[in-house]
Structure 1
Amino acid sequence: MDSLGDTSGMSSSAVPVCSSRCLLSPLSRSLSRSGKSILHIDPNNYYGGADAAFSLQEAETWASSITAATDNDRGTFKSASITKPDGNTGLSFPRAYTLALSPQVIHARSKLLSQLVSSRAYRHVEFLAVGSFYIFKPTTRSSQKPSLVRIPSTREDVFFTTAIPTKAKRGLMKFLKFVLGYDSEQQLETWQPYADGPLADFLKNEFKMDAELQTYILALTLSLDGLITTRDGLSTIYRHLTSMGVFGPGFAAVYPKWGGISEVAQVACRAGAVGGAVYMLATGIREMEMSGDSIELRLTSGDTVKTRMLVRNDKNAEVGNGVSRLAAIVGSPLKSLFEALVEGAPLPAVAVITFPAGSLMTTSGKAYDYPVYAFAHSSDTGECPVGQSILYLTTSTTPDAKEILAQSLQLLSEAIDADHIPLSLFQMYHEHGRGSVASRPDGSIFNFPDASLSLLFDDSTLEPVHEAWKQVMGEAEVDTDYMTFPDREGVMDDEDMYD
């Protein structure tokens, strides 16, 4: 149980309690900057919780701990394993690598980026361009090897692509124009009858798209089950299209260097400490006792803390299926995936590849019903040495998921270069179950939902952070103060590393 609390106005021995999960870290920072006393505890000995990133040695230790843990102790992680070839594998030293447990890309129009700017935390996170989105094409009678086809996501892309027939291009152009005004009164009448149904049905009925063209659109949503609703699908694609070019030509999304979303947690924790928050890793809550408006917490460290407000993350509630992930370090720079295709665009550090539902086969010979997504990361992410890359593959957890991810890794390697298939140097597989998905205010205790499994950073996950902030601060505070911090007086940027 990860927790956050506030004890402003109480005795000096009483301090609040909080978690180092990615989204609770900015919360503790915001509260500490708003004059609250914050104690931020986490039973893990690392920052970020389910959003953490590990060196190779840390990854092996973590995987072993998940394997050895009981169901209650491992939280929403259900299994983890490490695979590496025998002998001299070509790996560098362990800390030359950073493997993210939950890699996510962030649209340029994301509210998260706006909050990082208003809170001044953006100065300490380096963002890299997410380049092309690709569709995986399996072997056919006319093609003896699998291939990758780039997804056009602007009108110019559609015009120049040779992968889509002319008639289909017109339908795609019409759809892209529709999405840019999808929330207008006229367009609402078109899609609202389909709002809660699959986006695929809307594309088929209103834009006459065939199954193949639908996969191009669905791939941009990064939907884990491929069944995203029309309402959510249009919103996601709108954000993708309007994010294009915001930070530079040729890309719509970014990725934080040095470990992805976990880097945001690290920066927030350090900035919170500058603001007066106290952090305790490898510390949990052993017992909790309520007395009036006071909560007494007995910690596993032996300390006792009193607080008037507690925000905690219950990691054990499981709701539905989760995701299976495979992170693979490969001995190749995979240069063909990281090309700048627009003049003046930065060299991308991340590429996204979609294996559409039905494009892979299970060991029993049946078509796999779920999509698989692969994030290819170059060494520019800081996650591996020059000359190597990391492939993160994700799909919904099923009995066939582990074999499907292994198959996807092999086919992706062949599609990139069938003549020089890069050697896999290290693999980490893990399954992440779904935890609680809604916040539950309960008097002086705020139960925080578990980490999102989405591959696109979901702005809706920021809402519980704001709810918790308001509950701790009280109604007297105005929302304009939320996540908006002035520069510290008399401190220059290069002097204040984490403000």
Structure 2
Amino acid sequence: MDTLDNTEWDVLIVGTGLQQSLLALALSRSDKKILHVDDNEYYGGTEAAFSLQEAEEWAKRVSDDSSAAAFTHISIDKPESAESDTTLPSLSFSRSYSLALNPQLIYARSELLQYLVSSKVYRQLDFLAVGSWWVYSPNPETTGAEASTVSESHRSESRRGSLVKVPNGREDVFQDQILDFKAKRALMKFLRFIAEYEEQPEVWTDHRSRPFSAFLSAQFKVPVALQGPLLALTLSPDTSDQTTTEYALPRIARHLRSIGVFGAGFGAVIPKWGGMSELAQVACRACAVGGGVYVLGKGLSQIEENIEAPADDVGVRIKLRLTDGEVLTARYVVGAAETSSPADSSYSKSISIVGSACTPLFPSLGEDTPAPACAVVVFPSGSLPSGSDYQVSTPPVHVFIHNSDTGECPTGQCILYGFTSLGGEDGAKLVKNAVDTLLSTMDITPSPPILWSIHYEQRAASTGPSISTTNDHIINFPPPSLDLAFDGAVLESVKSIWKKIMGDDAGEFLVFDDREANIDDDE
């Protein structure tokens, strides 16, 4: 479509982030005239995925544009040794990489997966298993009671520390021949409780605001050495002292209840080819098939509210001007999130391309189960030095390792996604320390080299202009989630806006008839 001038639309959606794209998908069978615009030349917003060249162009563009409040302090590192030493693995061509700005896990019991099935768009997506979870211990050798609580078969050791494999459930705990009886009994008691914790409020409600670690000690006598693996399952960005019982219980239950839904040994998946960006693009394509129009490189510039509608039209019309000067009208405008202030907390992130398949992190999940494509490594609070000291007050660092099965890198390489809730220079150092420590801790000689890396800070803010208005036909999405697992609140937000737009015509949310079946019936 060459021009949008003087065109009337039912819904204008600003931005192609995951929330906006899911709304477009929800509206795609509604017979409404939908225009979806984005200032960027790429889909996905804060969930975008980039090739190497695109990542470098993005870094320069964001660094030059202070209005892009979601991302700051971007730096790219290309180690000279990776370029000069011909005996080391080397970077491949730019488009052989797909680097996700905001990778997330999707638990098997997430409503998102149910809606992808009911809307039929799952046919355009591939999902891969999230395999083993590991917790880093800074002590290369434990002694006394702690040594007997961790199976040697679950430990990968190095001079700097060790990686302890998190048990997948009761079977792993029960079959462990090294875990001492006292520790095994405490863990089994907790696992029985967590399976139906909602029905036992008398056990935990008095502890809801206390640290989860204190609850484990007081109620279940879980040894300190085994609390780290349980805390790791919460994916909490906060220190152990700040992670409350009320926060931890539903997240551990989510993890354990999801194991076995799609196959033995795992409970979460990731989308292939670029993480949540792939979901956003597939949702956009589905809307386009339904008649929606997409325009990249063009955003919303100005709104003139409450223009006079035709006498025979009881609906609201809003006059809009796009960044290229084109003028149009719409009944509803759905915009980006409100921009956060510089004072809001920042999260330090990094993406590292590693010249190794990191095979020790991807043990088989068992017979007749898919090969894992993602591993999770958690560095608990205080397990990494901040400066020259280990400080319990530092938050944990999470690292997602994606292998080449994801389509994000060539065979024989991996992508390491690092994350911590500590901003500034200290946060950047903490994430880098975690990545370096992980590479030196794996049982691989020599340590895998980093071929390319990028560090950036992210706030829960929009990359585009928010819409300031009191008109209830102009709606803002909340800031995108920075959770490491997909947040179900995103779906609730999309659903509420969809209901508002559809009104009495709203049917079932993201439940579509099968077009392929209808075509067969007609024939």
TM over 0.5: yes
Number of residues of Structure 1 aligned to a counterpart in Structure 2? 475
Q: How does 1:21-420 map to 2 (within 5 A)?
A: 21-70=17-66, 73-86=67-80, 87-88=83-84, 90-140=90-140, 144-161=159-176, 164-184=179-199, 187-226=200-239, 227-291=242-306, 293-318=316-341, 320-367=344-391, 369-399=394-424, 400-417=426-443, 419-420=445-446
How far residue 263 of structure 1 moved from its aligned partner, in angstroms, is 0.5
How far residue 199 of structure 1 moved from its aligned partner, in angstroms, is 2.3
Amino acid at match of 2:193: F
Rounded to whole Å, the distance in 1 between the matches of 2:516 and 2:381 is 55
Rounded to whole Å, the distance in 1 between the matches of 2:48 and 2:317 is 32
The equivalent of 2:487 in structure 1 is 458
**Are the equivalent residues in 2 in contact too, given 1:25–1:269 (CA < 8 A)?**
yes
Secondary structure of the residue aligned to 2:164 is strand
Q: Alpha carbons of 1:117 and 1:53: their partners in 2 closer, same or farther (altered >3 Å)?
A: same
Amino acid at match of 1:41: V
How far residue 357 of structure 1 moved from its aligned partner, in angstroms, is 0.3
Rounded to whole Å, the distance in 2 between the matches of 1:432 and 1:386 is 29
Q: 1:16 aligns with which of 4, 11, 14?
A: 11
Deviations along 1:369-397, one digit per CA (max 9) or x if unpaired, are: 11001111110000000011111111113
Amino acid at match of 1:206: Q
Secondary structure of the residue aligned to 2:389 is coil
How far residue 490 of structure 1 moved from its aligned partner, in angstroms, is 6.0
User: Does 2:479 align with 1:445?
Assistant: no
Deviations along 1:206-230, one digit per CA (max 9) or x if unpaired, are: 1122333221111001111143332
Q: Which range moved further: 236-245 or 152-161?
A: 152-161
The equivalent of 2:149 in structure 1 is none
How far residue 342 of structure 1 moved from its aligned partner, in angstroms, is 2.1
User: Does 2:513 align with 1:482?
Assistant: no
Rounded to whole Å, the distance in 2 between the matches of 1:447 and 1:76 is 16
Query: Which consecutive residues of structure 1, in runs of 5 or more, have no partner in the other structure?
Result: 1-10, 494-499
Amino acid at match of 2:196: G
How far residue 430 of structure 1 moved from its aligned partner, in angstroms, is 0.8
**Are the equivalent residues in 1 in contact too, given 2:207–2:245 (CA < 8 A)?**
yes
Rounded to whole Å, the distance in 1 between the matches of 2:233 and 2:470 is 34
**Are the equivalent residues in 2 in contact too, given 1:66–1:79 (CA < 8 A)?**
no
**Are the equivalent residues in 2 in contact too, given 1:397–1:431 (CA < 8 A)?**
no
**Are the equivalent residues in 1 in contact too, given 2:159–2:441 (CA < 8 A)?**
no
Aligned residues with identical type, % of pairs: 45
**Are the equivalent residues in 2 in contact too, given 1:452–1:461 (CA < 8 A)?**
yes
Rounded to whole Å, the distance in 2 between the matches of 1:21 and 1:56 is 20
Rounded to whole Å, the distance in 1 between the matches of 2:20 and 2:330 is 17
**Are the equivalent residues in 2 in contact too, given 1:149–1:163 (CA < 8 A)?**
no
Deviations along 1:401-431, one digit per CA (max 9) or x if unpaired, are: 1111111111101111363200100001110
Structure 1 segments of 4+ aligned residues over 4 angstroms from their partners: 439-442, 489-493
**Are the equivalent residues in 1 in contact too, given 2:338–2:476 (CA < 8 A)?**
no
Q: Alpha carbons of 1:459 and 1:442: their partners in 2 closer, same or farther (altered >3 Å)?
A: farther
The equivalent of 1:3 in structure 2 is none
**Are the equivalent residues in 1 in contact too, given 2:96–2:409 (CA < 8 A)?**
yes
TM-score for the superposition, normalised by structure 1: 0.90
Q: Alpha carbons of 1:239 and 1:490: their partners in 2 closer, same or farther (altered >3 Å)?
A: closer
Rounded to whole Å, the distance in 1 between the matches of 2:104 and 2:470 is 28
The equivalent of 1:7 in structure 2 is none
Deviations along 1:116-165, one digit per CA (max 9) or x if unpaired, are: 01100111110000001101122446673422110013111112336743
**Are the equivalent residues in 2 in contact too, given 1:107–1:456 (CA < 8 A)?**
yes
How far residue 489 of structure 1 moved from its aligned partner, in angstroms, is 5.3
TM-score for the superposition, normalised by structure 2: 0.86
**Superposed CA RMSD:** 2.2
Secondary structure of the residue aligned to 1:221 is coil
The equivalent of 1:423 in structure 2 is 449
Please tell me whether Structure 1 or Structure 2 has the larger radius of gyration of its CA atoms: 2
Query: Which consecutive residues of structure 2, in runs of 5 or more, have no partner in the other structure?
Result: 1-5, 143-157, 308-315
Rounded to whole Å, the distance in 1 between the matches of 2:134 and 2:414 is 17
**Are the equivalent residues in 2 in contact too, given 1:324–1:395 (CA < 8 A)?**
yes
**Are the equivalent residues in 1 in contact too, given 2:131–2:375 (CA < 8 A)?**
yes
Amino acid at match of 1:254: V
